[in-house]
Chain A
Amino acid sequence: MMYWLKFVLRNTLRHRLRTALTIVGLVVAVLSFGLLQSVVDAWYAGANNASPNRLVTRNAVSLTFSLPLSYREKIRAVPGVRRVAVANWFGGIYIDRKNFFPQFAVDPAPYFSMYREYRIPEEQLRNFLRDRKGALIGRKLAETYGFRVGDTVPLQGTIFPGVWQFNVRAIYDGAQPTTDTSQFFFHWDYLNETLRVQAPRRTNQAGIYVVEIENPDEAAAVSQAIDATFRNSLAETLTETERSFQIGFVKQTEAIVIAIRVVSFVVIFIILAVMANTMAMTARERIGEYATLKALGFAPSWVAHLILGESLAIALIGCAAGIALTYPVADWFAARMGTLFPVFEVKSLTVLMQILAALGVGVVAALFPMRRARSVGIVEGLRSIG
């Protein structure tokens, strides 16, 4: 075995430039595959982080239609419901349109009682609850734009016109590395009271209701009960789990996600072709050596495994380097993307897929040369020498 390994490794290093270029190709492919898979994961991060005991109730017609504030108490009265909070998408612009981050006007007390994964210092939370214009923001958002507690953040309203001033009163951290800390929350009361002056017809409207239920197993029954409460009303509701609600968002951009997935596999296919070519060239050049080994009494399978070993060695070196690079490159990419991807991490499953892809490339690239080395006649192979 040691002899075989030595033989394989020395063969691998025989054409250093060719091996190095193939490994570079593999590194790029494994890295690209990992990054693209992480982008897809980031797309689904919201859905994956959703809690099973939270529901979202929205207008059955469309998310762009609001619901009356009066629904809040009616939903709270539905059996199985523990808490209800209003949440309105604000959609403001911070200085420039490219500075995108999600902003929500919420009922602070019930809302943050439901989102226990947001870790908020008690004093900061008290300060936020006391300040009508207060804002509670995530750590990633604060770091991206340099916001600190005490800063005033102006947002140019798009859905709700005017320039809105907010005082950063609290910064929350995530309980898990995957918790979204790119969000900006403020008091729904502030929004509603301001609208009462500026646009009275838009007051007392909720974008969505976030509903906490007692038992996640009863999510379907509670959802049906909520929707039944408002059947045949002017604003019928559609209630679904938070996860379904988030996936609904992702589905709107599903074509992009599919395209990214396809590209990630195309990258692997391209490197497979490159690697197969390398191994085919390698085997063709060594047919005489394989014939000699067979003449000496080595079984065709032993000879074929020399090729497989070499192919796997190249694939695994490229894979290891590609995975090692994936983490720093992903960090750099996440920093460059700012709050566009609230959660951007390289998952263990992604690394596993990178390893499997590299192994697959190593094995498939060796198949044809192995077959050729096994089947070539000794006399024919020996003729190629000289």
Chain B
Amino acid sequence: MPDRPLIIAIRNLVKAYRRGGETVPVLVDITLDVEAGEFIALMGPSGSGKSTLLNLIAGIDKPDGGYLRVDDVDITALDEGELAAWRAQHVGFIFQFYNLMPVLTAFENVELPLLLTRLSAAQRRDHVTAALGMVDLLDRMDHYPSELSGGQQQRVAIARAIISDPTILVADEPTGDLDRKSAEDILNLMGRLNRELGKTIVMVTHDPHAAQRAGRLVHLEKGVLNNSEQ
């Protein structure tokens, strides 16, 4: 019996891509549980299916078979519109290349997910200020992404990811585009979010150093879950 409630439950998940007439299996019979407040790292060589698994967990891709529940919601049964609403409420995204809107300031980028809520402008401002304070970027709130370093942009992206208090944070190579110092800062920040705020984080990484910061490592090899280490 797990110590904490299950937040992600994956059973016999299957995903394949079709190239021409050929079917290429990407994920084969994946079964995985993630407890609330866990920080897990998905590792594996290129093409092992770790990003695909992350996309399925985040609800931006659909499996071909199997079962995937997040916070007791079977997301494989949701249609596109329901999935979009579900993502807005339950998933915070941290991308390798930050994926900030270049025409919006740091403040406006962080505010973006809150436009999908019923919060007033004043309430949004309070939330954004708090989130930017958490990533220590209050003094850069009026800066555009092009005026920020890579590390600062990723911190803005993290503030955007946590602004709507999602159930899970999914991070795809969050330090892949950063120098060592900035990467360390980002991993520290993610660690704090996990420890202090109890955020459940699923992170894909190539970097063993980054993976060591997670509470659990999950290895994928050719679409198959090999082992899981604490």
Contacts and interface: CB of A to CB of B under 8 A. Distances in A.
Interface of A: 3, 6-7, 10-11, 14, 288-289, 292-300, 377-379, 382, 385-386
A297 B95 contact: no
A378 B61 contact: yes
B137 to A, nearest CB: 19
A378 B95 CA distance: 13
A11 B84 contact: no
A386 B96 CA distance: 8
16 contacts: A3-B115, A7-B104, A10-B103, A14-B102, A292-B99, A295-B87, A296-B116, A297-B85, A297-B89, A297-B113, A298-B116, A299-B81, A300-B80, A378-B55, A378-B60, A379-B55
Contacts of B103: 7, 10-11, 14
B97 interface: yes
A54 to B, nearest CB: 62
A382 B99 contact: yes
Contact of B101 (A289, A295, A299, A385): A289
B101 A382 contact: no
Contacts of B88: 296-298
A295 B55 CA distance: 10
B57 to A, nearest CB: 13
B97 A295 contact: no
Contacts of B86: 297
Nearest to A12: B103
Contacts of B96: 386
Interface string B84-124: 11111100010111010111100010011101100000000
B113 A385 contact: no
A84 B112 CA distance: 77
A297 B60 contact: no
B218 interface: no
A379 to B, nearest CB: 5
Interface residues of B, number: 29
A141 to B, nearest CB: 57
B225 interface: no
B55 A296 contact: no
Given A14-B103, A297-B113, A299-B81, A386 B97 contact: yes
Given A3-B111, A7-B103, 16 more contacts: A292-B99, A292-B101, A293-B101, A293-B112, A295-B58, A296-B88, A296-B113, A296-B116, A296-B160, A297-B86, A297-B116, A298-B88, A378-B61, A379-B55, A385-B97, A385-B99
Nearest to A296: B113
Given A297-B87, A297-B113, A292 B60 contact: no
Contact of A294 (B55, B84, B95, B112): B84
Which of A296, A300, A378, A386: most chain B CB closer than 10 A? Answer: A296
Contacts of A288: 99
Contacts of B101: 7, 289, 292-293
Interface in B166-213: 177
B173 to A, nearest CB: 10
A292 B160 CA distance: 12
Which of A294, A297, A385: most chain B CB closer than 10 A? Answer: A297
B155 to A, nearest CB: 17
Contacts of B102: 14, 289
Contacts of A296: 87-88, 93, 112-113, 116, 160
Nearest to A2: B121
A47 B202 CA distance: 77
B95 A292 contact: yes
Given A11-B103, A14-B103, A297-B89, A379 B113 contact: no
